[in-house]
Structure 1
Amino acid sequence: MDKEAIPTKQQTLVLFPIPFVGHVLPMLQLAKVFLRHGYNITMVLVELPVGSPNFGAGVTDRIRALNKFISFHVLPAVSYDLTENSSKPPLLVLLQLMRRYNDALEAFLCSIPRRRLHSLVTCMFSAHAADVAAKLRVPVYTFFASSASLLAVVAQLPPLLAGRKTGLKDLGEEPVEFLGVPPFPASHLMPSFLLDPEDDMFRTMISVLKRCTGTDGILVNTFESLESRAVQTLRDDLQCVPGRVLPPVYCVGPLVSEGACILDEGRADRHECITWLDAQPELSVVFLCFGSLGLISAEQLREIAIGLDKSGQRFLWTCSNTHQQAHRFLEKTKDRGFGSQFPPMTQGIISTLSFHRGS
């Protein structure tokens, strides 16, 4: 089917992120790039069952209100026994949940005239939707919101882990080597990859990694001169993953938010960190946030605090509400720093807000 006969402004790109702030917001910035090139954009979000992990009540409505040039379509909640699966890691629950939306996503894609449907763009954790695109013969791309260096690791992990009887946890601090990045201790990998190979989380994550690097192309939130070594490795058909050709890699970054916060400044629930940031000199604040699922050991926490203390620098630090050591440090340094403890699924919202102010 010849899409070239259809003017760009009449073609629709469908974006389908997992409902984490760290995936939805970068994809919104990507959407703005496509808008500037004349495409129509529809972002598909999911309504999760009550009690499942998500990124905060009301956030979806505010995102939609602040992005009026983007169409949004919400897939209705699917049935899922959260009680029966309450002992599973939240990320595993969400990944299993997302697969259940494939039928609804397929129905939505079919509602768009095929000659107008340009492609589907998924994120790393929604790449299973590529199966839907393949069924409908729709081009599908993965948007990788992190760095090319991490993508190089992601691409090489499945063959590294294939056939192992034990997880990488057994390697401890022993360095692991990936083409395109410096060696680093095995313990620095995501905890999911340190598990026993028979663990559900381990197997699910390996499946995710294989799927997200098996689409028609990968859009990476970076620029080539920043990560030339990793990008060149990803583009080397014979070197990166022996026996496998990765899809084309496109550097589309940096994608940086241009203005409006998720939480309107005029709202009563405007977070106090924004008021604090407004009072700091321009470009004077070091910002620390390790994502909504970031886990920091007590030793790492202590080293971060020592570094901040010795630097004498203003800082904003968001951390999990389980880090009591951080709370004591924040009290000690409140004359030049600001920090709060948030539930893990809320950190991403605060991190987004902070980048719009004096950091």
Structure 2
Amino acid sequence: MKDTILLFPATGMGHLVSMVELGKLILHQYGHQFSITILLINGPFDPPAITSYVNAISQTHPSITFHTLPQRSVDTAPTRSRAAIAFEFLSLYGSDFFDYLKHLPDSSKPRAIVIDYFCASALPVAREFGIPVFHFFTSGAAVLGAYLYLPTMHEEINTTQSFKDLPDTLLRFPGFPLLPATQMPEPLLDRNDPAYDYIIYFSEHLRKSDGLLVNTFEALEPNALQVLADGSCVPKGTTPPVYCVGPLIANPDEGESQHACLTWLDSQPSKSVVFLCFGSRGSFSAEQVKEIAKGLENSGQRFLWVVKNPPKDNSKQSEEADEIDLECLMPEGFLERTRERGMVVKLWAPQVAVLKHPSVGGFVTHCGWNSVLEAVVRGVPMVAWPLYAEQHMNRALLVGVMKMAIAVEERDEDRLVTGEEVERSVRELMDTEVGRELRERSRKLREMAEEALGPRGTSAAALAKLAKLWSWSSQG
């Protein structure tokens, strides 16, 4: 009978996809030894696409079992931040997780549990059952180090002021570029928001883990891994062992290959198209959309641009249910003037398949880590335009450390990126010596990414160490 490895992702498509890819990797290498069960919780902000995604994975990978925990409810009053709502929701599942483990027969108890950073309430529960607990951190190693260091920073910064109120303060994380306090992830900006305390709690539990799996590879972040190894991120304690198991990204499926934008790309010259896509929450104001359009038109570059409707009533979610009127949203005559060299796609495009296409030579991205890795694996250089979560931290790394991206600059007063700035950054990426250097650096990293997951690669070796550890725990 195979030993079960239990995976517990947080809510949200990005976290689920990363955890599923980890499960696929374990089965690909050690399917003869382990089975995979993934625990699901239905979050208050989860898109309907999660259900269809889980169904598709169940059909294509029957060796991955999904188990959904009971539905919980939480106060979603508009006066509460989105992060506070989500974190409270996740914290409610400790008792349900306990009941799930309690009712498993001894022969089916998992040999190891891999939890998301945001599922910290599962750690003490698993310890009650004597089961080893590992974290899977879906961002990179440098950001992992910063989050490990957060409890120390919280203690050392003797102030009641929030980061959002410190525009002139630069924060110093071990091995990390100086980061403006106002560019910290949203949940940490306001000390009076319960989300801030949750993040400190999650980070404290990172330190208690039996091991930290990270969706990265050694050649991508050697400096960050050295800082983690020397203990700088946990100065008054011990850093758990770190295992780089990436890059883990989803492969395009059959249906994606039929998308009209891929047919359009087939007719474009090699590496001539800049692709603009900003993630599931990447919705801009009507003014910002027009500035992007102006910048693309004036740049003279070929482009493929994924557009969502502007948010309504200051919502952080785009109104995807409404039909997008591109003629109304774009500057007058823009679509006609650029139709020979540009394509605008409504709502969604098959990002992995697009980045893989030989006609794509650049990527304007919100700097979500999954998107970053997808670009790295395909050797596509980036324009970094962070929007939320830890994306400003990722931009600092992409531009200042990894040398894989050009940063866009926002206006201080309203965070608008002007058309002139869009034009500058796109031209620099696609048509200057700086862009060519980034492209060459990206090409080399693509080769290193392939090697990392190869039979003798560093990520394959890290997974082998985990498999040996998990096997030992089953014998113990």
* Smaller-chain TM-score bracket: 0.7 to 0.9
Partners of 1:159 and 1:296 in 2: CA distance: 35
Determine whether 1:277 maps to 2:266: no
Aligned letter for 2:330? R
Structure 1 residues 247, 299: closer, same or farther in 2, change over 3 A?
farther
Determine whether 1:24 maps to 2:16: yes
1:89 is displaced (CA, Å) by 2.1
Cα contact 2:4–2:108 (8 A) shared by 1: no
Cα contact 1:19–1:55 (8 A) shared by 2: no
Determine whether 1:218 maps to 2:203: no
**Superposed counterparts of 1:93-242, under 5 Å:** 93-110=85-102, 111-113=104-106, 117-162=110-155, 163-195=158-190, 197-237=191-231, 239-242=232-235
Structure 1 residues 321, 81: closer, same or farther in 2, change over 3 A?
same
Partners of 1:156 and 1:313 in 2: CA distance: 43
- Residue matched to 1:321: 310
Q: Secondary structure at the match of 2:71?
A: coil
Cα contact 2:251–2:352 (8 A) shared by 1: no
Structure 1 residues 315, 147: closer, same or farther in 2, change over 3 A?
farther
Structure 1 residues 341, 132: closer, same or farther in 2, change over 3 A?
farther
| Deviates further, 92-101 or 292-301 | 292-301
- Residue matched to 1:356: 353
Task: Write out per-residue CA displacement over residues 15-59 of structure 1, whole angstroms, 9 at most, x where no aligned residue.
Answer: 1111211101111111011112121000111134xxx21122533
Q: Secondary structure at the match of 1:71?
A: strand
Partners of 2:60 and 2:264 in 1: CA distance: 25
State TM-score, norm by structure 2: 0.61
Partners of 1:54 and 1:151 in 2: CA distance: 24
Q: Secondary structure at the match of 2:152?
A: helix
Partners of 1:18 and 1:308 in 2: CA distance: 40
Partners of 2:272 and 2:342 in 1: CA distance: 11
- Residue matched to 2:299: 310
Q: How many residues are treated as equivalent by the alignment?
A: 328
Partners of 2:125 and 2:271 in 1: CA distance: 45
Determine whether 1:64 maps to 2:58: yes
State TM-score, norm by structure 1: 0.78
Return the index of the structure with the highest Cα Rg: 2
Structure 1 residues 89, 45: closer, same or farther in 2, change over 3 A?
same
Determine whether 1:11 maps to 2:3: yes
Q: Secondary structure at the match of 1:279?
A: helix
- Residue matched to 2:365: none
Cα contact 1:10–1:116 (8 A) shared by 2: no
Aligned letter for 2:65? S
- Residue matched to 2:250: 257
- Residue matched to 1:80: 74
| Deviates further, 180-189 or 18-27 | 180-189
Structure 1 residues 308, 204: closer, same or farther in 2, change over 3 A?
farther
Q: Secondary structure at the match of 1:125?
A: coil
Structure 1 residues 295, 280: closer, same or farther in 2, change over 3 A?
closer
- Residue matched to 2:375: none
Cα contact 2:293–2:330 (8 A) shared by 1: no
Q: Secondary structure at the match of 2:219?
A: coil
1:105 is displaced (CA, Å) by 1.8
